[in-house]
């Protein structure tokens, strides 16, 4: 009964938070930090892939649409290399963040 009343008080709540932080603080930081890092870095990589490899829709005067490339590569090998670089960097970021979160 006394412990239940202590947990309802402000001091009891602060004590529980301090105990939980002491026991699980490193794990909580890993989960939150790894997740935020993955979201930010994956978003940047996917935006970069979209810019370099996807087309944009442009409305023409006759109310039809055509699709234009946002970026022109000098060769097809450069395009393929860029696609591989984006894919491998996303894979690497995912593996690293999974190690941070679950490791």
CB count within 10 Å of CB 3 equals: 8
Structure tokens at 51: 């810019």
Q: Within a domain: residue 86?
A: yes
CA nearest neighbour of 73 among 61, 83, 62, 86: 83
| Per-residue pLDDT tens digits for 51-81 | 999 999 999 889 899 999 989 999 999 999 9
Strands 55-59 and 65-69: antiparallel
% the chain with pLDDT above 90: 77
Q: Within a domain: residue 91?
A: yes
Q: Within a domain: residue 15?
A: no
Q: Within a domain: residue 72?
A: yes
Q: Within a domain: residue 63?
A: yes
| DSSP-derived 3-state class of residue 61 | coil
DSSP state at residue 103: -
| Per-residue pLDDT tens digits for 20-29 | 999 998 899 9
| Angle formed at CA 63 by CA 60 and CA 65, multiple of 5 degrees | 55
């Amino acid at each position: 009964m006394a412990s239940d009343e202590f947990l309802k008080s402000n001091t009891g709540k602060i004590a529980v938070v301090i105990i939980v932080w002491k026991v699980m603080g490193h794990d909580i930081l890993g989960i939150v930090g790894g997740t935020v890092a993955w979201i930010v870095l994956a978003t940047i990589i996917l935006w970069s892939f979209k810019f370099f490899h996807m087309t944009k829709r442009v409305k023409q005067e006759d109310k039809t649409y055509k699709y234009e490339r946002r970026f022109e590569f000098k060769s097809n090998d450069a395009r393929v290399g860029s696609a591989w670089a984006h894919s491998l960097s996303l894979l690497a970021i995912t593996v690293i963040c999974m190690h941070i979160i679950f490791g």
